Amino acid sequence: MTIESSEFDVTEFDKNLLLTTSFIYFIFVGAVEIYWEHYWTGLSSLLSGVTSAIYWSNHTCPKRHFVDLCVTRASVVVYLVSVFNPLLNMPIIYAVTVMLLFSGTTISYLCSQYFWDNEKREWIIFHFLFHTFLFISSVYGFFILEYEKTLRY
């Protein structure tokens, strides 16, 4: 079963939880990052939040799913590229933390996809964890970029 299938029941609670986390996590972080002049990461967070909210408002549309996946994956790349250079000038613990957060994000997404494909209700727990790991990663990335600014001045 693919995620585009409408046979699997997604409750209103599931949709509302994912819509809420999309708005609170990604749009809030994106606005803060743009305010602090981190335009690329801020824009990627905003786009992730908007496309995720649009997708979860009608999760049976394959085109919305495709756009959501593309934007989310592009955002992860933007964050990793943006944070990579500052990490070179920081203690190794920062890089290890970024890799742990990235691993947690990847594992929670894969678990969510596995449970979804097997029509298990646990998918919502792991997808919520996926959103939470992305949020924590983006906040951590923001602080790394801000810390890097202080090193330059």
Answer whether 130's CB lies under 8 Å from 112's CB.
yes
In a domain, 3, yes or no: no
Query: Position of tokens 């801000």?
Result: 146
Q: Which domain holds residue 49?
A: 12-147
Q: How confident is the model at residue 9 (pLDDT cuts 50, 70, 90)?
A: low
Asked if residue 4 belongs to a domain, the reply is no
Average pLDDT (1-17) is 62
Q: Is 32 inside any structural domain?
A: yes
pTM for the model stands at: 0.77
Contact 52, 26 (CB under 8 A): yes
pLDDT by residue (tens digit) across 40-83? 989 988 998 888 888 888 877 888 888 888 888 888 888 888 88
Predicted confidence band at 5 (pLDDT cuts at 50, 70, 90)? Answer: very low
Q: Find the mean pLDDT for residues 134-150.
A: 86
Chain centroid to Cα 61, Å, comes to 20
CA–CA separation, 41 vs 30, rounded Å?
Answer: 7
pLDDT(8) > 80: no
86-95: which pairs have CB atoms within 8 A and are 24 or more residues apart?
A: 86/144, 86/145, 86/147, 86/148, 86/151, 87/144, 89/148, 89/151, 90/144, 90/147, 90/148, 94/144
Residue-wise pLDDT for 14-25, tens only, equals: 888 888 887 788
Q: Is residue 98 part of a domain?
A: yes
Does residue 75 lie in a domain region?
yes
> Is the pLDDT confidence value at 105 over 70?
yes
Comparing 132 with 13, the larger pLDDT belongs to 132
Number of domains in the chain: 1
- Residue 33 inside a domain? The answer is yes
Q: What band does 110 get if pLDDT is binned at 50, 70 and 90?
A: very high
Confidence band of 92 (pLDDT split at 50, 70, 90): confident
Q: Which residues contact 134 (CB under 8 A, 6 or more apart)?
A: 25, 26, 48, 72, 76, 105
pLDDT reported for residue 114: 93
Task: Tell which phi-psi region holds residue 133, choosing left (phi > 0), alpha (psi between -120 and 50) or beta.
Answer: alpha
